[in-house]
Amino acid sequence: MELLKEYPYLYETHLHTSQASACAHCTGAKMAKACKKAGYTGIIVTDHNWGGNTAVNKTLPWKQWVEEFVKGYEDAAQMGERIGLDVFFGYEAGYDGTEFLIYGLDKQFMLGHPQLRTATIQEQFDLVHSGGGLVVHAHPFREAGYIPGIRLYPEYVDGVEGVNATHSNPRSDSHNHPEFDSKAMAYAEEHGFFLTAGSDIHTTDLLDGGMAFRRRMTSMQDFMSALRNGEDYVMTDGVKWFRKDGSVYKD
């Protein structure tokens, strides 16, 4: 409780909706309501894009695809406005099992940049930066059937997801291997990357992971500035708490 007094603003940074992620089970509105009830200040909706387990028909023309893809976020945002939950847009980009959390782009940027659909990892990095966004390597050391192998791209990411609640929260029923996170933290330290934390949540049965700040984030740009500028925050997998450098803060 003392820790939450210092860092009262909790954000879920890795969340999926059933409108855009085929592996998710609940709509954006339901996810927003569950997160508000659980005490989150805000959430970042990060549905799977065309390179991952998307629920949107990949053969659709680009404009139509984007319009369909953002429906989970828009559903969550509409609910967020009603209940007082900040809802920000992001997405999870997939490259044959290697995945990146893309922060800072929006629907209009996507509509104007259809080349995102065919971009290489390097081209993605440049495109995201041209739009003022950030690329975060999601769960870089996860081992799973859909991941052919561990592939690292330190030259094409800004940060690393160091805490993924599905890896270490005892209530997680998938990918439950805490060493995936410890390896990610060591990798981030080696390259001087900032760390993020999220639950990678797909249902309203939340794991309570995320990042907590001393102040409320006013926008996605504000959140990114906090990361870029080294602002103080703590991270959690829903059970343990970590400082922004990955050291254990509190169990």
* Three-point CA angle 203, 209, 214, nearest 5°: 135
Residue type at 221 in one-letter notation: Q
> Exposed, middle or buried, 67 (CB in 10 Å: 0-12/13-18/19+)?
middle
At 168, list the tokens: 């270490």
**How high is the pLDDT of residue 162?**
97
Residue type at 2 in one-letter notation: E
Is 54 strand, coil or helix?
Answer: strand
**How high is the pLDDT of residue 54?**
97
Report residue 3's pLDDT band, with 50, 70 and 90 as the boundaries: confident
H or E segment to which residue 159 belongs: strand 159-164
- How far apart, in Å, do the first and last CA atoms of the chain sit? 12
Please write the tens of the pLDDT for every residue from 152-187: 999 999 999 999 999 999 998 878 899 999 999 999
Residue type at 32 in one-letter notation: A
**Mean pLDDT computed over 67-89:** 98
Report residue 112's pLDDT band, with 50, 70 and 90 as the boundaries: very high
**How high is the pLDDT of residue 1?**
63
At 174, list the tokens: 């998938």
**How high is the pLDDT of residue 30?**
98
pTM summary value: 0.96
**How high is the pLDDT of residue 7?**
96
% residues pLDDT > 70 (the chain)? 99
CA separation for the pair 59, 54 (Å, rounded): 12
User: Could you tell me which residue, 250 or 243, shows the higher pLDDT?
Assistant: 243
Residue type at 16 in one-letter notation: H
CA separation for the pair 33, 77 (Å, rounded): 11
The chain-wide mean pLDDT, for the chain, equals 96
The set of residues, in sequence order, having a beta carbon less than 8 Å from that of 36 and lying 6+ positions away, is 80, 83, 84, 85
Please write the tens of the pLDDT for every residue from 8-33: 999 999 999 999 999 999 999 999 99
CA separation for the pair 197, 4 (Å, rounded): 16
**How high is the pLDDT of residue 250?**
58
Report residue 73's pLDDT band, with 50, 70 and 90 as the boundaries: very high
* Three-point CA angle 175, 179, 184, nearest 5°: 95
CA 172 to chain centre: 17
Report residue 199's pLDDT band, with 50, 70 and 90 as the boundaries: very high
**Using an 8 Å Cβ cutoff, are 75 and 29 in contact?**
yes
